[in-house]
Every structure is written in C-alpha cells, then in structure tokens.
Structure 1
Amino acid sequence: MTIPGRERIAWAATARGIVTMLALAVVYWLVGKAGLVFSIGAFNVSPVWPASGVALAALLMLGVSYWPGIFFGGLVLCLGMGNPPLASLGSALGGTLEPVLGALLLKRWGFSARLERVQDVVALSVGAALGSSLVGASAATVSLVLWGGLEWTDVAKTIQVWWLGDGIGIAVVTPALLLLRQQRPAGFRWEALALGGCTLLGGLMVSQAGLGGDASWYRATFFFFPLAVWAALRFSPRGVAFVILLFTLCSVWSAEVGLGLSSESTVVAEARVRTLLLLQLAITVNATTGLLLAAVSAGRRDATRQVELLATAVRGLNEGVVINEVTPEGPRVVFANEAFRAMVDLEQEALLRRSPLEHMGDMDPETRQRLEAALREATPFRGQVLLKHRAGSRVHSEVQVSPVRDAGGAVTHLVSIHRDVSATQELSARLMAAERVAAVGTLAAGVGHEIQNPLAYLELNLTGATRSLGKGRAGAAEALSHLLDAQEGAERIRLIVEDLRKFSREGSDGRERVDLREVAAPALRMVRHALRDRAKLVEDYSAIPPVLGSGARLGQVLLNLLVNAVQAVPPGQAEQHTVRIRTLTAPDGQAQLEVSDTGRGIAPEVLPHIFEPFFTTKSHEEGTGLGLSICQQIVRAHGGEILVRSEPGQGSVFTILLPAAPPELPRAAEPAHRPVEQAASPARPARRGRILIVDDEPRLAQSMRLLLAPNHDVVTTTRGSEALEWVASGQRFDLVVCDLQMPGTTGMDIYDWLREQAPELARRLVFMSGGAFTPAASAFIRSVPNQVLEKPVRPEVLLATIDAALEPAPAGT
C-alpha cells in the first residue's frame, strides 16, 4: 500500500501505522540476524548485509515516516550482539540514516520503482547502493570508535567491509522487493521455470568452483552474466532482480557451506570474507549491468510500442499524411498513409522517393511560390493546394507542412498533413452562389422595375415602327427612328441581364487584374433603384491600383455591402441620408474601397460577431447571416482584409483593403478563358464564307441568318445531331456558330466530335452561351481556346467576331 504526500506522517501515527512499524522492526531484526552469519571480528561487521536492502525498499514503499521501525529493529539487533549501549545506539542511527537518506535522494531524483529507465537504475546503484550506504557505514563505524572500543587503525577496513556489505544488500535485495509488487507478465511460464533452473544450476557451479580455491570464484561469476542478459531481454527488470537474488543466495549459501567461514580463525576468516566480498562485488557489478540492460530493453519495447501505435494511428487517420526526407536534391517522399494514397489514387511504390511537388496540381502562383520555398528551405507552410488525381481530376487539400529536427536542431524530415476539402470547397462555392442570388433577390423588385421600363419602351417603339411601315415610303424615316429607339431599349435590357449574370455566375474564380472602380459600376446599377427613396448615392473615385483577383467574387462583396447599406437606412428619408462608395490608395500602397452609410449603425455588443456565419440581426426575409462571413472569406482569399467601424445612430463604414497586383501579371494568373465582350472590326472586309449556325432557338437562328446573309452563305439547324450528319456527309463549312447548351447533342459534344473528325473546323467554332449553368459547362469554357459570345449578342460584335475568325482563309474541310 502506497500512501501519498503528507498523509504518510499522520498514517504512521495511527494504531495501524504503529503495528506496521513494529512489524518492520521485526523483519529488519530477522534479516539482520541472517546477515550476521557472515560477520567477522569482535564487532560483527558483515560483508553481506541484506537488511539494508529491506530497509530501503520498506521506506520507498511505505514512506520515510516509518524510519522508527528500522531504528528499533537495528537497536535491538545491536544490543543483542553485546555492543555497548551508546555504540549500539550509534550503529542503529547509522543503519537508519542510510535508507532514509537513500529514499529521500531517490524521491528527489524522480525515481520509479519499476526500474524501466536507465536513470532509475543509475540512481539506485550510485545514489543509494554507493552513496547512502557509505554515509551509514561511516556513521556506524565512528560510533564504534567512540563508544565501542574499535581502534582508529581499523576504521578504514571496517568502513570498507561495512560499506560494501550494505551496498550489496541494496543492489541485490531492494530491486527484488520493489518489483515483487508489480504484475507478472503473461505467458513465458515454461521459460521462467527454465531460467530459474539454470540460475540454481549456475549457483551450484559457483559453489563447486569455490571448493576448488579462491581463483576459481572469479571464473565462476561469469556464469551469472548470460542469465542476467536472458532475464533482461525476456522478463524485464523483474526477471533480472529475481535472478540476481536467487544467484546471490546460492553464492552466499555455497560460501558458507563450502568455505566454512564461521569455523575458521579470525585471520583466516578475514581472508575468506575478502574472497566472498570480491565474489559478491562481481555479482553486484553484473547485476547492475543486467538491470541497465533490462531498463534499456524496457525502454526500447516502450518506444517500439509507441512507434507502432503512432504508425497505426497515422495509417488510420482520415487526413492524408506524407513524410518527406530532406535531401540535397530536395524533399523526397518516404511514407504516405492510405488516406493520402486514396486522395491521389496512387500506390506506395509510385510515391516513394518522388518530390512532393510532382503530386501538386495547378494553383495560383503566389501559393505555389510559397510552397516551393517552404519545401526548399524546410520551413513550415500552411495553405490550400490542389492535388492531382490519377484520373485527371483535382482534389482541394488544406495542407500543413511541419519540419522534424534531430537532436542537433537540423531538419531531417518534413511532415505534410493533407485534409480533403473538396466537398467543403464545393459547398462554399454553392453558398457563395446562393448568397449572390439572395443579394440579387433582395433587389428583385427594383431589378424588375429597371427591366420593365426599357421593355415598355422597346414594345412601344416596335409598335410604332410597325405602324410607320404600314404607311409605305412616307413612314420609312419615322419607322427607322422608332427602330433606333427600340435598339437603345434592348441594349439597356442587355446590360441589366449582364449584371444579373455577373452576380449569379458560378466558376468565375480566374485571377486577373481588376479595377475596383469597374467592379462598382454593375453593383451600383443593381442597387440604384432600391436606394432612390432611402438615401442619396455619392460616388467618390480616386486613383487606385489594380488588384489580382476575381472580378465576379469582388463584385459579390461590393454588392453585399451595398445591400446592407440600403437596408441600414430607413425608407422615406432620402434627403437626410447618404450612401457613399469611395476608392483610394491606402498609405501602404494597397487598394482601398469604402462603403459607408448614415443609417442606424451597429451596437457595440453586436459588432464583434457580424462576420460569424449565420449571425444576423435581420429577419429571415432580409438576410441569412452568411453575407458578411462570405465577404470576409472572399477578401481574405484575395490576401486582403475587411474592416468595419460603426456607432449606433451614426452609420457604418466598411473598408476593404487589397494588395496591389504586380506590375506584370504572371502568365499563370491569367484566366483560362474570358468571354468576348467586344471584337474589333478587321482592317479590310473578310472573304465570303459558308457558315453553319446551330441553336435550339429557331427565331434566334433565323435572326442571325438574316444578319449574316448579305455577306455570307448561311445554313441553320436547331439540332446538333443534324449538324454533325452534314459535316460527316462531306458538306463544307468555313465556320460554325454553335449554342453551348442544347437538348440532346450539346455544343460541347459537337466540339469533341469535330476535334476528332475535323480538327481544322473545330478551331473555327464560335460558341454562344446564355450562361454556363453546370460545373461541366463552366469547366469546358475554361479549357477550350475558342471564342464564347454571351447572349444577347450585339450585332456588331457577332459580325466582327465572324470576320476575324475567317481571316486568314482556312484550308478546305
């Protein structure tokens, strides 16, 4: 039973504690009587003293407060040997001081009774077996000199015998008693019996060697070491301790029987005791070595178990783990767990000794540069990267690279932990798209009003043109005026539709140089009508550096901030409130955009939470609580930050800071494809060509035919399959204008077929799209080099695009 802390002193003072002390005194006295068998001289100094090992083990297990039991047991033992009272008292005090000092030293050094660490074996051997036993032997010898009649000339010899005898007792008996309480390892029963039998046999061999003369003792001690190694490797420190104890008992017994120490004269007995002392000293050295080997073996087993546990945990992690060895050529993969191999769909052999960069997909130049620098310089890295799947797809991964250093501080390995965030990325993209649609939906009434005005204007002018044409030549000029006005109304509708498309388009994450003032124009058109009866709109544009980013994403941020500003201002007080949009260059060179209002402001207790997802003070009809969170996410993804300051009743100011784009846009940062907004007219008229128009909307196809017919030969169809049949049958076309998304055979199918069967015509294919509404269509637009015209297409843009595509004249197909 082990009693912790200060409770041991109180426990020792109880009746049960006193009984335990008395029992300890009796045990110490009995073991001491057994040790006196080997005593020499008039003062009964023994070269083998197992009582010291019993005393130290007792104080380590029970607590130092039980020292009175050791003292009384030693005092009774000394008085029983006929020593003077004061000498007996001094010997008892020395015998008590020895285990007390040893126990205190071991406790201070963090000693563990399991003896499974090298420092524990060293502490027991040096601190207790050599250190404290020397103190106890010296104190007891001095008391014999002062009150027992021991001559000063015999002090050194007496201390030596006493010291080594006590040290042997601690080294041999204490480990056995401490480890006796530990749980016996399962299995090894027959092996344990075999070890015990070999130990007894070794002891008998030592006994027989002892009968052959003093020199045979030293050779016989070598029988012990293989047994200690066996016990250390197979049975931990517990096995070594009991082998030591058993072998020592056999040696002591054989010495008593074989040498007859008790029957010799004093001179002969002293010579024989020195022989026994040397034998026990050799066994003690071997025992200490065995315990050290057992501690090292136990530590190795623990380390192996920890490594196996770590390896099992790493293999079973859902996150991908890659361990890279740092070499002069750069990091090389030495391990990849199953989760990472599943992310890239590669076997271990295909990953080993390869650079980790070989498994990375396309990413923005800044992130790739940071990652390459971290791998090259063996420094930490954290960010989002793209991994290449063997099937050709891309896996979004959040990666954290951490260096592993050796004892000297040098980096030897890099550990990369990958977390597949593809699903999260897709969900985030959908949330962003939903928030864009929600922002536009908030302004739906105003957008509808903006469309209704030019639509009514368009209808009235078309009706007027029809009536004017009914008048014959006299109404031609009037009809032309009506048609021009109708064209202006159609252009206004086209711009509104284009703004709606910008704020609801998916997949527009390409990085390019963006002027925030250009992003502001469509956002302001979206909110202008909703703002009319709430506040005056003030536009304050100053010089601002371009930024590297996605215009659609930054437009979403600006639209959301403008919607919030509109909602913060009460209706009906337009002359009293202002919504201001301002651009300028920040003092540190960053692009700065501010959206401010003079509305109700934000309460101080609410302000710290406004960027938290789903936090909102609006009603469910006005907001979802995602807008500002997504805005912050977009701005941070662009390397910037969004700040806010607000006071209740004084309005709010939201500030966006974005780093300026580099002077020369890196080639990899350019968007893979950007739809054509305007094409320049060729310097000279293009040649006449045969053009195939494929669109599932018959009226649109007919309108384009009428537009192109004066300059080109035009063939139209509403089915993609029919167009492919015409090309397959040998009909020649110089150019194909094709809708991207159609029922049945899509424009993407037509392109894939032409690329295989008529590659020259595939290069002369111009797409038209009302919006890439599927991820596949968005990815297709980014991957092909062909022009993409967004509906509604202005006539001059269509004509210029076709003329440019027909120059130079292609070879016949």
Structure 2
Amino acid sequence: MAAVVGIQEQRRPLGYAVQALAVATCYYAAGRLGLLRRLTVEGAVFTPVYPSTGVALACLLVLGLNCWPGIALGAFFLVLSLGTPGPDVVGILVGSSAGPVCAYLMLRRAGFRTDLGRLRDGLCLVFLGALAAMLVSATVDVVTLVCAGKLDAARFWPIWLVWWVGDAMGVLLVTPVLLVLLGARWPPRLSRWKETLALVVGAAVLVPVATGSALSALFLVYPLLIWAALRFRLAGSAPCALFASVMATIAATDGVGAFTGLSHVEVMLKLQLFNGSLALTALLLSAVITEQRNTRLSVEEACQELAEALEHLSAHDHPAGRAPPQDGQARRAEDER
C-alpha cells in the first residue's frame, strides 16, 4: 500500500506539469490566432477579440484553480513571441492570470454551472466572468505599460477601454464554445443531421455576405442566430456567434463591408457593439430556452410519477376482479353489505 501511495505522489507533479504545458499551449495558440487580426487605436495595436481569456477561463472552470500556472506560462510565451520581454513582463503575466482567476472565483461563488442551462448562469458569465473580472486584467496590464514608459499616460483611458472590451469579448465568445465542446457527448447524435447541415450551410453562406456587404447588412446574422438557439440551444448559437464574430473581425480589419470609410475608433466601436450583441443574444436566449425546456421536462416527470402513484394506490384499494363503485348510491350499498 505504501508503494502505491509513493507512486501516486511521484506521478502527481508530473501530471500537474503536463496539465500546465497543455493549458499554456492552448493559451498561446489562441493568443496567436487572435493576433492575426489587429486594429490600431490611439497608436496602439489591439486584437478586437482576445480568445486567450476565454481559453483561460474555460480551463479554470473545467480543471480547477490548479491550472493557473499554465495560464501564466502561456502568457509568457505569447509575450516572448512578440519581442524581447522587459521588466514589465511580470505585470503583464500578473494581469493575464489575475483576470481569469478572478472570473473563476466569482463564478464559483455565484454557483455557476458549466452547462449554462440556467438564465442566471448566462448572466453570471456576462457580468461577472466577462465585464467585471476583465477589469482586473485590463487595468493591471495597461498600468504596467504606463509605468514601464511604453504607453503615454494621456492615452490611458482609450487604450484601457479597448483592452478591456477585447478581453471581455474573448470570454463571451470563446468560453461558451469550449464549455459546449467539453460537455458534449461523443460521438454526437445525428438525429437531426439534415437541420444541422442546413444551419451550417446557411451560416457559411449568409454570414460572409452579411459581414462583407457594403449595404451594412450585419442584422441578417440575427435570424440565423435565433434559429440556432431555438433548435440547438447553446450548442448551435455559441459556434454561430463565434463564426459571425470572426467574419466581422476580418471585415473590420480589412476595412470592407459595413466598416468601409470608418475611422479606427469607429471601426472598433461598431465591431465591438456587434460582437457584444451577438454574444448576449446567443448566451441569454439559449439559457432561457434551456431553462424552460428543463422546467417542462421536470413537470412532465412529476406528472408521470404522480400518475404512477395514483395507479398504484388505486390497485391497492380495489383488488383484481372487483370493480370500484361508480357513484354515491353504489358506494353506500357496498358499505351496507
């Protein structure tokens, strides 16, 4: 028995190391993908959606707080890939790790469920996980850059705002998709494969047209998003919202479609309003539909149990071969006998 315990203790640090490397790899890969498309605001370059924050929060929700070193390691590799790190890298690592960790702690305190099957779960992810917690990461990172002399203090608020919004969009758009993938049944059931195929084809055709059209037709995405939420709940609406956000970000960084002729600030503002409305619609509508469905199933199950209980009681009150009395007179005659 002692030998078995010793082997488990030896394997535990190795397991933590492998987990940290896996989290760091995912964080780094997501960050590099996000940096493929950038916008310039007040002379600073930003990614409109920073998917690494969504990856970090999803890892914390699934693996627990022990995976935070992997987040810091992934952030270090990402900073290292952008240039030679200076003393300010410590502050960047603290901010990159503190935001997702604060989001995890607040969501856990609020009783958050990773299946996002309740409206309160969607609201918690929006207001606690994204909007509130990402204030920490944005503030620490931007203050660090100002103190290091890499950022003019006069441009603090505009840069802080776009930094915060980019981190928040990463949580709102990426975390739900990862939670759906990690919680899905594999292999998935294809009972509605025709409708699934129709939704995929519709998104592949409609979303590029809506984001790339010069007619500013971004609103065409919402019927598709509502269809996905009504029929497939979060499993359909979250990937649809992420795909629409990616296509809109490509159009915004290229300055085409609905973003033609706009200034950098106007492009960022329009894009983030679109991304935010997409994420809110996908999360909250799917949560409401899932909650109503679960309530209906609970009521049906309770009715079924009640019917079975009444049938069981009726069988005990009236033995086989003896019919129950039909009216009050028959009941009295039965009593007299």
User: TM-score over 0.5 for the alignment?
Assistant: yes
SS in 1 for 2:295: helix
* 1:506-545 pair list within 5 angstroms: none
Determine the structure 2 residue equivalent to 1:203: 207
The CA distance in 1 between the partners of 2:116 and 2:54, in whole Å, is 15
Q: Which amino acid aligns with 2:274?
A: A
Describe the shift of the 1:180–1:249 C-alpha distance in structure 2 as closer, same or farther (beyond 3 A).
same
Determine the structure 2 residue equivalent to 1:33: 32
The CA distance in 1 between the partners of 2:223 and 2:107, in whole Å, is 29
Determine the structure 2 residue equivalent to 1:21: 20
Determine the structure 1 residue equivalent to 2:252: 255
Judge conservation of contact 1:94–1:140 (CA < 8 Å) in 2: yes
User: Deviation digits for residues 583-606 of structure 1, max 9, x if unmatched?
Assistant: xxxxxxxxxxxxxxxxxxxxxxxx
Instruction: Report the structure number with the largest CA radius of gyration.
Output: 1
Deviation at 1:283, TM superposition (A): 2.9
Structure 2 gaps, min length 5: 1-8
* 1:471-620 pair list within 5 angstroms: none
Determine the structure 1 residue equivalent to 2:122: 121
Deviation at 1:132, TM superposition (A): 0.7
Determine the structure 2 residue equivalent to 1:290: 282
The CA distance in 2 between the partners of 1:133 and 1:80, in whole Å, is 23
Q: Which amino acid aligns with 1:226?
A: P
Determine the structure 1 residue equivalent to 2:4: none
Percentage of matched positions with identical amino acids: 33
User: Deviation digits for residues 385-438 of structure 1, max 9, x if unmatched?
Assistant: xxxx35622499xxxxxxxxxxxxxxxxxxxxxxxxx8xxxxxxxxxxxxxxxx
The CA distance in 2 between the partners of 1:12 and 1:150, in whole Å, is 45
Q: Structure 2 length normalisation: TM-score?
A: 0.83
Q: Is residue 229 of structure 1 aligned with residue 226 of structure 2?
A: yes
User: Deviation digits for residues 479-519 of structure 1, max 9, x if unmatched?
Assistant: xxxxxxxxxxxxxxxxxxxxxxxxxxxxxxxxxxxxxxxxx
Describe the shift of the 1:277–1:55 C-alpha distance in structure 2 as closer, same or farther (beyond 3 A).
farther
Describe the shift of the 1:392–1:162 C-alpha distance in structure 2 as closer, same or farther (beyond 3 A).
same
Determine the structure 1 residue equivalent to 2:145: 144
Determine the structure 2 residue equivalent to 1:303: 295
Q: Structure 1 length normalisation: TM-score?
A: 0.36
Determine the structure 2 residue equivalent to 1:67: 68
Normalized per residue, the structure richer in helix is: 2
Describe the shift of the 1:45–1:283 C-alpha distance in structure 2 as closer, same or farther (beyond 3 A).
closer
Which protein, 1 or 2, shows the higher relative CO under an 8 Å CA cutoff with sep ≥ 6?
Answer: 2
The CA distance in 1 between the partners of 2:250 and 2:81, in whole Å, is 24
Q: Which amino acid aligns with 1:317?
A: A
Q: Which amino acid aligns with 1:100?
A: V
Determine the structure 2 residue equivalent to 1:392: 330
* 1:284-683 pair list within 5 angstroms: 284-318=276-310, 345=326, 389=327, 392-394=330-332
Determine the structure 2 residue equivalent to 1:755: none
Deviation at 1:256, TM superposition (A): 3.7
The CA distance in 2 between the partners of 1:286 and 1:259, in whole Å, is 20
Determine the structure 2 residue equivalent to 1:740: none
The CA distance in 2 between the partners of 1:11 and 1:295, in whole Å, is 43
Judge conservation of contact 1:129–1:170 (CA < 8 Å) in 2: yes
Q: Which amino acid aligns with 2:115?
A: R
Extract structure 1 runs of 4+ deviating beyond 6 A.
none
Q: Which amino acid aligns with 1:245?
A: L
Q: Is residue 272 of structure 1 aligned with residue 264 of structure 2?
A: yes
SS in 2 for 1:40: strand
Structure 1 gaps, min length 5: 1-9, 261-267, 322-338, 346-388, 397-421, 423-774, 777-813
SS in 2 for 1:85: coil
The CA distance in 1 between the partners of 2:44 and 2:111, in whole Å, is 37
The CA distance in 2 between the partners of 1:11 and 1:294, in whole Å, is 44
Deviation at 1:143, TM superposition (A): 0.3
CA RMSD of aligned residues (A): 2.9
Deviation at 1:60, TM superposition (A): 1.0
Deviation at 1:277, TM superposition (A): 4.3
Determine the structure 1 residue equivalent to 2:176: 175
Judge conservation of contact 2:50–2:167 (CA < 8 Å) in 1: yes
Describe the shift of the 1:157–1:126 C-alpha distance in structure 2 as closer, same or farther (beyond 3 A).
same
The CA distance in 2 between the partners of 1:229 and 1:11, in whole Å, is 50
The CA distance in 1 between the partners of 2:46 and 2:143, in whole Å, is 13
Judge conservation of contact 2:212–2:256 (CA < 8 Å) in 1: no
Q: Which amino acid aligns with 2:277?
A: V
Deviation at 1:53, TM superposition (A): 0.7
Aligned residues: 313
User: Deviation digits for residues 180-215 of structure 1, max 9, x if unmatched?
Assistant: 022245521111111112122222123322xx2xxx
The CA distance in 1 between the partners of 2:12 and 2:273, in whole Å, is 39
Deviation at 1:276, TM superposition (A): 4.1
User: Deviation digits for residues 564-598 of structure 1, max 9, x if unmatched?
Assistant: xxxxxxxxxxxxxxxxxxxxxxxxxxxxxxxxxxx
Deviation at 1:312, TM superposition (A): 2.2
The CA distance in 1 between the partners of 2:14 and 2:171, in whole Å, is 29
Deviation at 1:64, TM superposition (A): 1.4
Judge conservation of contact 1:202–1:247 (CA < 8 Å) in 2: no
SS in 1 for 2:27: helix
Deviation at 1:313, TM superposition (A): 2.4
Describe the shift of the 1:390–1:96 C-alpha distance in structure 2 as closer, same or farther (beyond 3 A).
same
Deviation at 1:40, TM superposition (A): 2.9
Deviation at 1:48, TM superposition (A): 1.9
Q: Which amino acid aligns with 2:178?
A: L
Describe the shift of the 1:253–1:313 C-alpha distance in structure 2 as closer, same or farther (beyond 3 A).
same
